[in-house]
């Protein structure tokens, strides 16, 4: 069936492109495909992206849950696993009643967690974020190791088409959560197809409620159905009741598999009232022609909506950005900060906690290796900043460019240079001029805002070792001083975060 082929083609394209957003370490993919993260349902809702939310709702009310079968990467990933499992055992599904108490119970807990600001719990259930953590923590290292192998081979051939990248674990707890999620989704999809989507996923529950009222649906023509049950045995949503010739549209993801498997042509993707009209009419050539016209109209409507979604999304794509290059990697230990650092554009720690779904897209996109998932239970897996491997370059706005949920608002390079996310604090006992008796001044030389000046340690002795003096009014908390300080294992100067950012 043509509609099924179209759906499969679009689903594969969306899945590959969305996955590349988490694998890419050059920043080039985000320039062209960053909009795909911003049309995901929950991030668009949290970002109050009204246009995208209304478009997804309208598509669901017209076509059913095509978001789940085409756009959502976790949904497509389950389909891939289910397809592989189906090679081993065919016709393996059967109808099961909807677990509505569990579905709506999980949705209620999810909403309460989001309102209460317990983002770490909500992030565990969000489908796009769950897939993002899997891609960033499990798929990306393999992709990067492959790149490093190619770089090694290219170097031996006197070619510099590839360059090596540093592969490191940004957070052990986040890696563990990603691994458990990966295993759970595979087991559920291998055994039951779309079990996760129709019992756990809060987005699936919301869209499922809307899909019950969709205009176009797979409808069973009882006059043609012979009761073989082949449709139900191939329904990965387990939503077709062959005995009653009924379909639970709240769980149907419009995958079109049932239509493709039906040998009698008894299932059609149309508006239910059209089938009733056709059944009441006299059979004949005109009926056949009308049926063909209905299918053609449904196909044209599907293609028109898909083209509209793609056009609007491309128009909303972000402009190209140029990053500031990779920061110098330093072997240091993380200082104990009283207040964690959140990225410029996040406005405050509260805004970050309220909007972030911990999808790891900003962590993957950071070229300076400054962002990493938090290990704090209340903000588990949400990004925070640390400067052991690099510093937050004033000319880099990658994280604000890619964030789809409004946790990090879009900012310009000029904006970033004026946003104070924290301030530098000097630690006397670690400073090399005082401990080793040598000149340094690294922090002052590399401060992009000129907030650090070297002054004599003894005001009465002009020739005494010079130490840094920090102007906290000018410091923006970029971490250049902390990252480039030669003191080990802890820097002699570090950045203390601010709960609420301000403009300097």
Q: How confident is the model at residue 279 (pLDDT cuts 50, 70, 90)?
A: low
Any residues with CB less than 8 A from the CB of 481 and at least 6 apart, and which? Answer: 424, 442, 443, 444, 446, 447, 452, 468, 491, 493, 495
Residue 241, domain member (yes or no): no
Residue 97, domain member (yes or no): no
Residue 358 has pLDDT above 80, yes or no: yes
User: Which run of H or of E encompasses 494?
Assistant: strand 493-503
Beta strand ranges found along 324-460 (DSSP E): 371-373, 383-385, 419-426, 452-456
Residue 404, domain member (yes or no): yes
Contact 500, 456 (CB under 8 A): no
* Spatial CA neighbour of 197 closest among 103, 88, 61: 103
Range of the domain at 459: 349-503
474 or 334: which leads in pLDDT: 474
User: Which run of H or of E encompasses 202?
Assistant: helix 202-211
CATH number at residue 472: 3.30.70.20
Residue 392, domain member (yes or no): yes
Q: Structurally, how many domains does the chain consist of?
A: 2
Choosing from 152, 185, 214, the residue where a domain stops is: 214
Choosing from 214, 242, 272, the residue where a domain stops is: 214
Could you give the CA distance from residue 180 to residue 408 in angstroms, rounded to a whole number? 27
Contact 122, 116 (CB under 8 A): no
Residue 256, domain member (yes or no): no
Residue 309 has pLDDT above 60, yes or no: no
Q: What is the pLDDT of residue 322?
A: 37
User: Which residue's structure tokens are 């023509």?
Assistant: 221
Beta bridge partners of 270: 217
* Spatial CA neighbour of 380 closest among 175, 189, 127, 154: 175
- Give Cα separations from 59 to 65, 196, 210, 498 (angstroms): 8, 22, 10, 42
Residue 284, domain member (yes or no): no
Residue 400, domain member (yes or no): yes
Sign of CA pseudo-dihedral 172, 349, 32, 155: negative
Choosing from 181, 214, 247, the residue where a domain stops is: 214
Residue 396 has pLDDT above 80, yes or no: yes
Clarify whether residues 35 and 181 are in a common domain: yes
User: Which residue's structure tokens are 């993380």?
Assistant: 334
Contact 423, 475 (CB under 8 A): yes
Beta bridge partners of 497: 422
Could you give the CA distance from residue 416 to residue 392 in angstroms, rounded to a whole number? 10
Clarify whether residues 56 and 203 are in a common domain: yes
Residue 462, domain member (yes or no): yes
Clarify whether residues 44 and 192 are in a common domain: yes
Clarify whether residues 207 and 353 are in a common domain: no
Lowest-confidence pick of 125-134, 155-164, 278-287: 278-287
Q: What count of Cα atoms within 13 Å lies in the side-chain half-sphere of residue 95?
A: 17
Q: How confident is the model at residue 323 (pLDDT cuts 50, 70, 90)?
A: very low
């Amino acid at each position: 069936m043509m509609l099924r082929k179209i759906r499969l083609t679009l689903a594969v394209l969306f899945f590959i492109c969305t996955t590349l957003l988490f694998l890419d370490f050059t920043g080039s993919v985000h320039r062209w495909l960053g909009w795909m993260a911003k049309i995901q349902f929950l991030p668009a809702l949290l970002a109050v992206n009204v246009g995208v939310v209304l478009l997804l709702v309208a598509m669901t009310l017209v076509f059913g849950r095509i978001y789940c079968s085409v756009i959502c990467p976790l949904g497509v990933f389950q389909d891939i696993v289910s397809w592989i499992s189906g090679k081993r055992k065919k016709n393996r599904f059967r109808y099961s009643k909807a677990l509505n108490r569990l579905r709506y119970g999980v949705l209620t807990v999810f909403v309460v967690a989001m309102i209460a600001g317990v983002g770490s719990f909500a992030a565990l259930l969000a489908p796009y974020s769950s897939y993002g953590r899997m891609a960033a923590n499990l798929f990306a290292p393999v992709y990067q190791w492959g790149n490093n192998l190619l770089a090694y081979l290219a170097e031996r051939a006197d070619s510099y088409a590839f360059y090596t990248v540093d592969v490191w674990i940004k957070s052990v707890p986040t890696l563990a959560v990603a691994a458990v999620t990966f295993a759970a989704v595979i087991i559920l999809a291998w055994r039951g197809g779309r079990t996760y989507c129709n019992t756990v996923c809060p987005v699936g529950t919301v869209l499922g409620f809307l899909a019950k009222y969709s205009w176009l649906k797979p409808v069973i023509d009882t006059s043609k159905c012979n009761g073989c049950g082949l449709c139900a045995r191939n329904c990965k949503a387990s939503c077709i009741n062959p005995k009653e010739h009924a379909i639970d549209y709240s769980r149907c993801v419009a995958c079109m598999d049932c239509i493709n498997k039906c040998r009698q042509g008894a299932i059609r993707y149309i508006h239910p009232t059209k089938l009733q009209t056709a059944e009441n009419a006299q059979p004949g050539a005109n009926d056949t022609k009308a049926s063909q016209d209905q299918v053609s109209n449904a196909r044209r409507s599907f293609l028109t909506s898909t083209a509209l979604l793609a056009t609007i999304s491309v128009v909303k794509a972000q402009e190209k950005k140029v990053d500031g290059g990779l920061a110098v990697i330093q072997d240091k230990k993380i200082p104990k900060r009283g207040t964690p650092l959140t990225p410029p554009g996040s406005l405050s720690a509260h805004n970050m906690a309220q909007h972030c779904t911990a999808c790891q897209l900003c962590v993957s996109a950071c070229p300076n290796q400054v962002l990493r998932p938090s290990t704090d239970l209340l903000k588990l897996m949400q990004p925070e900043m640390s400067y052991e491997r690099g510093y937050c370059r004033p000319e880099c706005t990658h994280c604000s460019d890619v964030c789809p949920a409004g946790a990090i608002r879009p900012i310009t390079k000029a904006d970033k240079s004026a946003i104070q996310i924290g301030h530098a604090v000097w630690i006397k006992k670690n400073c090399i001029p005082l401990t080793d008796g040598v000149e340094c001044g690294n922090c002052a030389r590399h401060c992009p805002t000129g907030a650090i000046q070297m002054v004599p340690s003894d005001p009465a002795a002009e020739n005494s070792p010079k130490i840094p003096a920090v102007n906290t009014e000018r410091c923006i908390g970029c971490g250049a001083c902390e990252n480039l300080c030669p003191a080990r294992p802890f820097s002699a100067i570090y950045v203390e975060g601010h709960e609420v950012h301000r403009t300097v």
